Amino acid sequence: MILSEQYKTMKDFISSLQDEITGTLGEIDGKSFSEDSWERPGGGGGRTRVIENGSIFEKGGVNISDVHGELPPEAAAQLNVKPGKFGATGISIVIHPHSPKIPTIHMNVRYFETESGKAWFGGGIDLTPYFPYEEDFVFFHKVMSDACESVITGSYPAYKTQCDEYFTIKHRNEMRGIGGIFFDYLDGKNPDHFALVKSTGNSFLKAYLPIVKKRKAALFTDDEKNFQLHRRGRYVEFNLVYDRGTVFGLKTGGRIESILMSLPPVVHYNYDPTFENGSQFDIMNQYYQPKDWLNYE
């Protein structure tokens, strides 16, 4: 299978984006990302960059991958395509800060093509905060709206709704965070969709860096840290039970360490935790449901 020019262009874009994001986050943290290049049995490989125990970021990863070869039947059934040769390239980011005043953030943008001629884009960004800074949530969603609307007018509401629905922990009927944007199976031959992916990728630092700078010096209590660790448990539940990227990576022989990079280093699983009515933790729990952040008052 000969990979398309668009595939190669996407590969170049995510490589440059990885350099920009790891360089910027490493500079603000004061600690550089370590790098681990890997090869995938069957074709392709990737470049994993990780930061651990920095001054701001407890654990973070910015991974790029370019995997190709034969698509296993189980993965083909999941994607609703015929088994055969495929190529998939993308970037995946998860940043877990020390401070509960700074949100966790996740981004993924990807491109997939098969020898049958099918091709599509997917991805998005979502935010998982632990403290009710409503102004940060509004700011984040405004950046997401601008990323969508600057490319495809009127697209943000649908992608915002898809994010709310996708990042829901169904067995708890709650979102893992406050959403963002999410899209999948967008026609790979439509140039607007490629532009959307690039706009999404380029919005990561615009959306996250101002929040990090604003909150990095904020003090926090043990109770606030414990709430963060409690909510990290919800993050783990979603990623291991529902996340399509995790499932696809495991079923296609992906690199385990890179796939599970998204998991936080420390998590609390207390039995049936409760929070005092009206407390900041009770208020924050109410935000893990869909809300219209662009018109929030």
- What is the value of pTM for the model shown? 0.94
How remote is the C-alpha of 130 from its chain's centroid?
Answer: 17
Whether 1 contacts 68, CB under 8 Å: yes
Q: Which residue has the higher pLDDT, 255 or 9?
A: 9
Cα separation, 277 vs 260, in Å, equals 35
For residue range 166-207, list pLDDT tens digits in order: 999 999 999 999 999 999 999 999 999 999 999 999 999 999
pLDDT band at 52 (very low <50, low <70, confident <90, very high): very high
160 beta partners: none
pLDDT at position 1, please?
58
Cα separation, 264 vs 257, in Å, equals 13
Q: State the alpha helices, DSSP H only, in the chain.
A: 5-29, 73-79, 134-149, 156-166, 191-202, 204-215, 222-241, 244-251, 256-259, 280-286
> Distance of CA 54 to CAs 134, 194, 264, Å?
26, 34, 14
Per the structure block, which two tokens stand in for 263? Answer: 């998991």
For residue range 98-109, list pLDDT tens digits in order: 999 999 999 999
Question: Which sequence spans correspond to the domains of the chain?
Answer: 5-295
Write down the CATH superfamily of domain 5-295.
Coproporphyrinogen III oxidase, aerobic (3.40.1500.10)
For residue range 224-273, list pLDDT tens digits in order: 999 999 999 999 999 999 998 887 777 767 778 888 888 999 999 999 99
* Residue type present at position 221: T
> Distance of CA 163 to CAs 81, 139, 159, 245, 258, Å?
24, 17, 6, 14, 23
Cα separation, 179 vs 167, in Å, equals 7
Active site amino acids: 106
pLDDT band at 61 (very low <50, low <70, confident <90, very high): very high
Per the structure block, which two tokens stand in for 166? Answer: 């996708």
Please say if the pLDDT value at position 45 is more than 80.
yes
Cα separation, 285 vs 21, in Å, equals 30
